[in-house]
Structure 1
Amino acid sequence: ATALYGVPTMFIAMLDQLRRAEFDLSGLRTGIMAGATCPIEVMRRVIGEMHMSEVQIAYGMTETSPVSLQTGPADELELRVSTVGRTQPHLESKIIDEAGNVLPRGAIGELCTRGYSVMLGYWNNPESTRESIDPAGWMHTGDLATMDEQGYVRIAGRNKDMIIRGGENIYPRELEEFFFTHPVVADVQVVGVPCTRYGEEIVAWIKFHPGRSADELELQSWCKERIAHFKTPRYFKFVEEFPMTVTGKIQKFRMREISTEELREHLGKG
């Protein structure tokens, strides 16, 4: 095998496979990681430990057939691990604000895409079609992103996943990338849950590397030494796996529901 394709959770599972050292992966060269935001540290490990020096990240939606942006094998390493690449040929991308205005390069807003790959519409659902595709043919992805001067796009996370705690905007992807630098954290997902005092509180679902662990106080102390206090999760949930679809995509809405129910008493007190 020379190529390997999958979503990030699949690559994380392979990297932590206890018998991985028994297998010869030297034939691997390339592949695609897509289907969800790809953690930078995971990309670095895939390149370094699985020999996939030409692995690429692709971004898209089922509604866009599916890839709209992609990195290239000749892109510098930093661009391949930190962006989803540039717009595919014959397609268009833009970043807009809440009023629909195109934002300057580097500003964060909603990513929209247009072109031959965009679907005609949802089957027998004109209302949802109108909500997703505007009269000019732009597909509104619901993802927050930035675009640099060279056209490389960085995904900040889903618009609906953004956490507003005490008036501060917190992007889960930023926190997830941060937690991936902790030596015991194999995988992490960050969600917001309702809170009467601050509007929302941060919950970090943590999956440890085999044989490694940490408690809530250790992780909070580690955060407070390195990031702004308002970004430090109030709650942690240690799990063996995350709620996922059959294709391996994380179901953050289920995580929010589960955390809200489990923390109901605490969140009511603020």
Structure 2
Amino acid sequence: MTSTPTLIDSHCHIVFRSFDDDLDDVAARWREAGVTALLHACVEPSEIPAIRALADRFPELRYSVGVHPLDTEHWQADTQALLRRSALDDERVVAIGELGLDLFRQNNLEEQLQVLRPQLDLAVELDLPVIIHCRDAAEPMLAELRSRRSQGRCPAGVMHCWGGTPEEMDGFLELGFHISFSGTVTFPKAVPTHECARRVPEDRFLVETDCPFLAPVPRRGKRNEPAFVASVAARVAELRGVDLACVAASSTANARRLFQLP
């Protein structure tokens, strides 16, 4: 009998209401699937107390604090200080985010940059990696990060739920970023994502669910959950021409190193 490989779901949202009724069952399934650690992303500050409570409930959970680019209305004069305090108050905060740029759903680039920049500054100040959401915005995101690198102010981090081109991926890799694959890598038409999964260096990729969104094939269209990260890892392994144990070992080691997980 082969043992289940160890996996890390490097990006999930189990604080969402869709998990209210069966979270203990969801946890039992992720443990059975070999998921030994989860990184819970934050989209806006009012979530932080509930995410902290989840970390109390599930010892394998670590989390980030931040403001999503589609939630810029939640950025206030005191938000950076609130995020700083939240990160310093709990050692289980291992990243700043989910932050970034999204020009697919909104066209308010300047407003998004005004929320992005102080969070990037905070990550550098606290020496924490960032979790970047980047949709239809690779060009301005690369420009922002390259400018910061030239000034020695670019944090480490991960491009989460990767959906860009191989050329865009190369730009973020050159800046030192990791690339995280979600259920989209299992979608038949996601050809650029497939090519990225084949090409990404072994020491620079993660796997995630982004649950409850983007359930992988064959569960597409249903609620996603952390256990399904095994399907993401299996598809990445298939694309790379290696076995699942290899992808599990690499992605787990990469996540532990990036987020300094226990």
TM, length-normalised to structure 2:
0.28
**For the pair shown, which has the larger CA radius of gyration, 1 or 2?**
1
Q: Report which of the two has the higher share of strand.
A: 1
TM, length-normalised to structure 1:
0.27
